[in-house]
Amino acid sequence: MDKLCFLFCVAIGFGQVRQEPQFDAPYRIEPIERFAGPLLVRTSTGATRTVRVAIRTWGIPNRQRVTLPERGYLTIQLVSGEATTVIGGERRARKEGDFWTVAAGQELIVETANDTVTLSVVSIQE
């Protein structure tokens, strides 16, 4: 009976333990813009059209959850650090050197743990 009472008290105590928040208060981040402008591209039929291309570097501090305000089709490289991305509701762990893409219209959320990350993002908008 004493053991049962002890286990019950311990279980209640664990329920009252305050957990530390997973992310710190939001931190305003600004990219370094490497290039932004229109480019003339040739289609498979030989016609030309203009697209808007931007190349930006984002530094995201540790313990942050950030929705990147990038638009269009994205090609991304995790230049340094480790992060988790959420794209279309799918969470995926990313490590330094990884490349991935995000379809136009999808939201890109980046979560950092105890590591500051650097992302290189190429966006293409029609």
118: CB partners within 8 A, 6+ apart: 57, 58, 59, 60, 78, 79, 80, 81
Contacts (Cβ under 8 Å, ≥6 apart) of 94? 78, 82, 83, 84, 85, 100
Residue 88 confidence (pLDDT) above 60? yes
| 15 vs 123 pLDDT, higher one | 123
The answer to whether the pTM exceeds 0.95 is no
**What local confidence, expressed as pLDDT, does residue 83 receive?**
96
Question: How far, in Å, are 56, 79, 81, 104, 119 from residue 96 at the CA level?
Answer: 17, 6, 5, 24, 9
End-to-end CA gap in the chain? 71
Domains and CATH numbers, the chain: 24-125 (2.60.120.10)
Query: Which pLDDT score is estimated for 16?
Result: 53
User: In terms of pLDDT, which residue wins out, 76 or 115?
Assistant: 76
| Band of pLDDT at residue 50, cut at 50, 70 and 90 | very high
Q: What confidence tier does 8 reach under pLDDT thresholds 50, 70, 90?
A: low
Sheet order of strands, 117-125 included: 32-42, 48-60, 117-125, 73-80, 99-102
| Confidence check: pLDDT of 52 > 60 | yes
Q: What pLDDT does residue 117 have?
A: 97
Count CA within 13 A, CB hemisphere, residue 47: 3
Give the position of tokens 């289609």. Answer: 43
Q: What is the mean pLDDT of the chain?
A: 89
What is the mean pLDDT of the segment spanning 67-91?
Answer: 97
Helix (H, G, I), strand (E, B) or coil at 49: strand
pLDDT band at 27 (very low <50, low <70, confident <90, very high): confident
